[in-house]
C-alpha cells in the first residue's frame, strides 16, 4: 500500500508550511492532521512522537520528524534539492537562514493590531532583504539562487514571498529576478497542484490566531477582545 505522509499541526499554515511546500515539490502525497483542541495537543505530546514536545510533527518513511528546518532538509536530500557540492550546499543554508529571518515578519503579520502595522513591518523587512535576494540571483546567473537547478533554498524563498504577496500584491515590482524565480517555483507541477489542493490552508486571519491561542491556552494579542480568555 502506498504510504501517505501525515503532518500534524494547527489548522493553518504557520510553522508547518515550509514542510508542506517541500512535500509538494517532491510530489509526496500527504495529509494534514489538524490539532484543534488542548486535549488533542496533550494526546500528541504524550504519544512519545515529539522529541522536543513541539509541533509540527511529520510522520514519513516510518519516522517521526520534528523541527521544521530538519523536515525541510530531510525532504531536500530525499528529492535531490540539496546540492552534493559543499560550496553550493552552504549557499543553500545561508539563503535558508536569511529566508527564515525574512519570513518571520510574514509569520507575525496576522498578530499585528492593524493591517497598516503589518504592512509597514513587511515593507521594512522586504527593503532589507529583497535587494539582497535580487543580487544573489544576479550573481548566480542561472535564474536559481544556487547552482543551475532548483534547490530547497528557492522553495523556501518562494514560500516566504507567497506570504508577503498575500499582504502586498505588488511587492516584487522592483525585484524582477526574484519575481521570475517566484513564478518558476509556484509553477513547478508539485507546488502548483498543492496550491490548488484541499491541503492548502488560507492566509492566517483572526480565526487562526484564536484557534492557536485556544489550543495552547495562551494569551491572544493585546488588541483583541478579552485577550486572556483561554488562559
Ligand X SMILES: N[C@@H](CCC(=O)N[C@@H](CS)C(=O)NCC(=O)O)C(=O)O
- Of 11, 10, 20, 100, nearest in space to 60 by CA: 20
- Of 157, 147, 218, nearest in space to 186 by CA: 157
**Min separation Cβ 45 and ligand X, Å:** 7
How many residues contact ligand X, by CB under 6 A?
Answer: 9
Q: Is 36 in the site for ligand X (CB under 6 A)?
A: no
- Of 62, 61, 65, nearest in space to 49 by CA: 65
Q: What mask of x and - would describe binding to ligand X in positions 167 to 186, judged by CB under 6 A? A: --------------------
Stretch that binds ligand X, among 50-58, 76-84, 121-129, 150-158 (CB under 6 A): 50-58
Other Cβ atoms within 10 Å of 169 Cβ, number: 9
Distance CA 141, CA 133 (A): 12
Q: Is 68 in the site for ligand X (CB under 6 A)?
A: yes
Residue entry with cell 502595522: 117
Cell of residue 231, nine digits: 488562559
Q: Is 54 in the site for ligand X (CB under 6 A)?
A: yes
Q: Is 79 in the site for ligand X (CB under 6 A)?
A: no
CB closer to ligand X, 144 vs 201: 201
Q: Is 104 in the site for ligand X (CB under 6 A)?
A: no
Handedness of CA 131, 133, 138, 139 (dihedral sign): positive
Q: Is 14 in the site for ligand X (CB under 6 A)?
A: yes
**Min separation Cβ 155 and ligand X, Å:** 16
Binding residues for ligand X (CB under 6 A):
14-15, 53-56, 67-68, 216
Amino acid at each position: 500500500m502506498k504510504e501517505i505522509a501525515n503532518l500534524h499541526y494547527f489548522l493553518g499554515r504557520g510553522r508547518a508550511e515550509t514542510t508542506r511546500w517541500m512535500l509538494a515539490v517532491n510530489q509526496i502525497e500527504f495529509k494534514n492532521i489538524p490539532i484543534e483542541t488542548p486535549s488533542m495537543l496533550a494526546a500528541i505530546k504524550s504519544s512519545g512522537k515529539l522529541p522536543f514536545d513541539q509541533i509540527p510533527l511529520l510522520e514519513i518513511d516510518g519516522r517521526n520528524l520534528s523541527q521544521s528546518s530538519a523536515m525541510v532538509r530531510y525532504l531536500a536530500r530525499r528529492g535531490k534539492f540539496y546540492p552534493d557540492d559543499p560550496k553550493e550546499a552552504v549557499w543553500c543554508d545561508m539563503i535558508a537562514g536569511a529566508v527564515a529571518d525574512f519570513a518571520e515578519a510574514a509569520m507575525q503579520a496576522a498578530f499585528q493590531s492593524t493591517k497598516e502595522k503589518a504592512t509597514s513591518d513587511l515593507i521594512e523587512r522586504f527593503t532589507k532583504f529583497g535587494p539582497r535576494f535580487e543580487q544573489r540571483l544576479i550573481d548566480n546567473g542561472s535564474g536559481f539562487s544556487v547552482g543551475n537547478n532548483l534547490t530547497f533554498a528557492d522553495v523556501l524563498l518562494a514560500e516566504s514571498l507567497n506570504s508577503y504577496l498575500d499582504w502586498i500584491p505588488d511587492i516584487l515590482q522592483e525585484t524582477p529576478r526574484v519575481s521570475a524565480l517566484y513564478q518558476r517555483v509556484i509553477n513547478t507541477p508539485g507546488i502548483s497542484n498543492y496550491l490548488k489542493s484541499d491541503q492548502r490552508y488560507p492566509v492566517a486571519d483572526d480565526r487562526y490566531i484564536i484557534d492557536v491561542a485556544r489550543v495552547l491556552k495562551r494569551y491572544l494579542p493585546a488588541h483583541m477582545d478579552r485577550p486572556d480568555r483561554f488562559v
